[in-house]
Structure 1
């Protein structure tokens, strides 16, 4: 019975304890939100209202002050006569545009204050308004306060001194008091000197002028006597230092350390905090390294403090910058310590948790690292150093000993910022979008890091154990959709790393200026044979390559994606580094307008066929003759290398400058020759095999003798870039192309179709695929460089290639001694004196092309001087003395 009673009473007791059911007709009162003063002060809207207030105050003061300058005489007696109460509440009429309040405020600032220096208060209110509205520190308030305080005292005293006795209060009461004290203490002359020295000292402190006495240039030494044959030979340079702007001419130590008195230097990264987002998404954990150079837009430049642990890095604030931070920023930054006179915040490294798949509520926290970008600010603008050739008995640059290299002042600095600035908020947003997209497909990651480049940011992902790389690779379109970005490219995996890369274009892109690349220490101190400055990597490192080691370069990309600018970048790089005796260009321009800028340097750097007027080749038939002439030049150079016992052009030129080769035997100094073809597809379409065969020969054999090719095309299809050509062009540059097939044609891999254009390119070199932003050089800059070189003394004519005569042009012509070559007698004397009936001997000794030398040999055979052709052996010389030769020549 007791058990039954308990069972029946239990539910009744529960019902008794249960709360009464709510009445749907009775509405509950809404809870009134509590307004906290601290949250109100920190609210973003409060900051914007304050910003608008300060901007309006700045504008109000500016209008009142300006109106006071014109209406002060009419309002002066009214402001002095009436009390403040009468001015505010009476009916007094004033001429100031902003009424009685404007007249009273202006009178207080001008007459009783600092005079015209009061305009600095308008500037101060403007700084505060901009900082409050934008929500971050655009202007450094404390530094500007120091300038404003100095300006108030200096300008008011100076204006009072200059306007002594004037009725208008130019210096105000403060300026008059300072001027009266100064003139009484040191006199008028002493006060004037004090103001002059103070003003100059401030200008020197602010702008750091260079006061250098012009150095006397030493007289050039008299050239040593050179044999006639050597003096006419083509040569390599004694390289003079390039003319660079004064800003560039500083010591490497000063360039490395920077100006310690200026408030620049390193950088600091402090992650922004948002508690609401941290609850929903994994928090960003910064694992900072020793030389971070990514700058959040709202954090000042400070110097990072290196820590013993490579993956623990605390934000660092300099003592002089500590007061620039608000109390809220210092409170949010947490506890700080002073280490080596620097304020440092200790930061703990969070251990990566094991990911739990398919559980969104217990998602692991992903470590996020912003990788350091390569800061070449210390390398920029150093004095150009051109390594001079060691003093040898023969100097190939004596023909143009007064040649001056173009200076960096001829180029424009298109990039305003030397360090890439990337807002941390954008990095955080993209990181969260990537994590959310992968989480939606149950893909967990352990770590994500970001490397900021000029136009692209690389996010490196370390996937969790057991995650297939192909799953992330297949989400390329989904990640692009979530980021709302154009040109997403996934590298899975990154070669040499255990990470997966996601390249995302930056919202704010930076222009890479060629001037900065050429001024860098990496380019100036380069020992490469043919250094070319191509662009910057994603980590902001300058990409300088050696064309001589490529040894040929193939460029492709759709129309308007930067090929012509890329060609100009390569050519200008070589012009800044090489002497005219070291380098010659063969320029092929089917478009007729792209390379015409270089016509001015024809007598310095260009090569052409004998008898041609224009060194820029535009006619397809002349292109065929030029390519075949280059093949003849290549064969001649190989003969010279063979006789000299050398394997490449560098060894041969070294022997020649050391006087170990005799110019009497046909030896000469060999400059590098760079063939540039701007539109290769047009040549293939019009000439076909006639162009492809000599290009293939040059690509296969010309490397050792110093002939290098740069070929560009906008149609990277298989019928244009054949397998024979691709096999001999290991270095390739791909700008943005229209399809994946074109990308595979040029690079043997996809990815070029996902570039964003405007100089964004992929470079395949030394088995590595690198994404670069091409350096930019504008047309007026190229014209300036070409004019600077063209106005100097050059060679009598352009570098002449061997003569080439097409066999089609000589068909049907009968041979006759009456139409013998003008060089017939000279060729006969060379053959008789050497007793060698060799066509290659005539080519070397007389600098002839193969066809002309062959015709001369046929004429000598018809005249009975040499015997018939004997295959690979030299012909027999039938005339043994000069007297016999003269008798034969007299009878002809």
Structure 2
């Protein structure tokens, strides 16, 4: 069955399932389905007076009736009259990172473009870590979800457009093996990936307690309110942006006592609260987004959050403040929470075995 036939058949089956469950539907048009790399987004127009909550509560029953491989995510499509229902695409497509690297041209030295992924409508999403609305990102995802590949794409996005003269990286990898391929990058502080948890803790603490103050002193002396105004008036010798990537936050703080964890949480909060103005950005990732790891204090200044597949709706609630991540398809399927809006994306893929060759070509 080709894709068009699949869309027509599935629309008819969704409508029949809704009818069986007493949900009144007026329209599910095959021509109106968004075809994304990993999901097919069906748009359902409910009859006047029909409650959307009834449709959402029947997600598991609809999946069973359609013999679906996963439970669909159902929600309201803002700016339309439709509810959307996301189903797994039977011929799922891989979206390669390399073709989109360098497609985003730098506006200035403060521009930190991150290639994130493609939405169900086929639109590419690129975020600017240097944007005042997006200084830091909180990332969660279980084993096989695509979290680490996403972090690879973040690093590659940045170094593809920035030399070590305008960007510095600190990569902390307590698991000790995932980021060794980036060891020796000129962008890296001291030219190495930090793999010892206790050393990673100390480096982050030094950034919060000393480097932030040193950068603030430079800005005050230059009578500049932030790094952007400083770099605008010091084009010959700009202040480098510093991006700190922590791959597994839970492993990082595992070496700390309860009191030390509380103190380190305040260190993280200091960076997320004040780092933006001095050009320090944090990308914090974890496999285990439990409330004792991802606390309210950490989330407070990390409004941009990305979740890959998680084991439970409780985990999804912790990272996104709503359920949904437990229904993602793994392998790069993600939910992006940015500016209060939740967007489903398929993340880019880069083969870890090809990263070394890619780095040599940059």
Matched, 1:579 2:156: no
CA distance in 2 between counterparts of 1:525 and 1:672 reads 14
Q: Structure 1 residue aligned with 2:239, among 653, 660, 670?
A: 670
CA distance in 1 between counterparts of 2:342 and 2:100 reads 21
CA distance in 2 between counterparts of 1:670 and 1:525 reads 16
Q: Structure 2 residue aligned with 1:652, among 211, 230, 234?
A: 230
Any residues of structure 2 matched to 1:420-819 within 5 Å, and which? 423-448=3-28, 449-518=32-101, 520=103, 523-524=104-105, 529-549=111-131, 550-601=134-185, 604-608=186-190, 615-631=192-208, 632-657=210-235, 669-687=238-256, 688-788=261-361
Any residues of structure 2 matched to 1:400-415 within 5 Å, and which? none
CA contact (8 A) 1:517 1:542 kept: no
CA distance in 1 between counterparts of 2:142 and 2:233 reads 45
Structure with more strand by fraction: 2
CA distance in 1 between counterparts of 2:72 and 2:219 reads 47
Q: Go from structure 1 to structure 2 and tell me whether the alpha carbon gap of 1:652 and 1:720 turns closer, same or farther (over 3 Å shift).
A: same
Once the two structures are TM-superposed, the CA of residue 685 in structure 1 deviates from its matched residue by 2.0
Once the two structures are TM-superposed, the CA of residue 497 in structure 1 deviates from its matched residue by 2.5
- TM-score, scaled relative to structure 2: 0.92
Once the two structures are TM-superposed, the CA of residue 788 in structure 1 deviates from its matched residue by 4.5
Any residues of structure 2 matched to 1:40-51 within 5 Å, and which? none
Aligned residues, how many? 351
Structure with more helix by fraction: 1
Once the two structures are TM-superposed, the CA of residue 745 in structure 1 deviates from its matched residue by 0.3
CA contact (8 A) 1:672 1:706 kept: yes
CA contact (8 A) 2:176 2:196 kept: no
Higher relative contact order (CA 8 A, sep 6+): 2
CA contact (8 A) 1:680 1:713 kept: yes
Which sections of structure 2, spanning at least 5 residues, go unmatched?
none
Any residues of structure 2 matched to 1:68-217 within 5 Å, and which? none
Write the deviation string for residues 319-368 of structure 1: whole angstroms up to 9, x where unpaired: xxxxxxxxxxxxxxxxxxxxxxxxxxxxxxxxxxxxxxxxxxxxxxxxxx
CA distance in 2 between counterparts of 1:524 and 1:487 reads 38
Once the two structures are TM-superposed, the CA of residue 519 in structure 1 deviates from its matched residue by 5.8
CA distance in 2 between counterparts of 1:585 and 1:473 reads 43
1:704 aligned counterpart, secondary structure: helix
Once the two structures are TM-superposed, the CA of residue 443 in structure 1 deviates from its matched residue by 2.6
CA contact (8 A) 2:197 2:253 kept: no
Once the two structures are TM-superposed, the CA of residue 554 in structure 1 deviates from its matched residue by 0.8
- TM-score, scaled relative to structure 1: 0.38
CA contact (8 A) 2:113 2:157 kept: yes
Q: Go from structure 1 to structure 2 and tell me whether the alpha carbon gap of 1:501 and 1:526 turns closer, same or farther (over 3 Å shift).
A: farther
Could you say what the CA RMSD is over the residues aligned between the two structures, in angstroms? 1.8
Write the deviation string for residues 290-320 of structure 1: whole angstroms up to 9, x where unpaired: xxxxxxx5xxxxxxxxxxxxxxxxxxxxxxx
Once the two structures are TM-superposed, the CA of residue 760 in structure 1 deviates from its matched residue by 0.5
Write the deviation string for residues 386-411 of structure 1: whole angstroms up to 9, x where unpaired: xxxxxxxxxxxxxxxxxxxxxxxxxx
Once the two structures are TM-superposed, the CA of residue 764 in structure 1 deviates from its matched residue by 0.5
CA distance in 2 between counterparts of 1:489 and 1:682 reads 32
Q: Go from structure 1 to structure 2 and tell me whether the alpha carbon gap of 1:669 and 1:629 turns closer, same or farther (over 3 Å shift).
A: farther
CA distance in 2 between counterparts of 1:621 and 1:558 reads 24
Once the two structures are TM-superposed, the CA of residue 600 in structure 1 deviates from its matched residue by 2.4
CA distance in 2 between counterparts of 1:462 and 1:500 reads 6
2:345 aligned counterpart, secondary structure: strand
1:457 aligned counterpart, secondary structure: strand
Write the deviation string for residues 36-63 of structure 1: whole angstroms up to 9, x where unpaired: xxxxxxxxxxxxxxxxxxxxxxxxxxxx
2:125 aligned counterpart, secondary structure: strand
CA distance in 2 between counterparts of 1:429 and 1:526 reads 46
2:65 aligned counterpart, secondary structure: helix
Aligned to 1:27: none
CA distance in 2 between counterparts of 1:497 and 1:638 reads 46
Write the deviation string for residues 507-531 of structure 1: whole angstroms up to 9, x where unpaired: 10000010232264xx247667000
2:40 aligned counterpart, secondary structure: strand
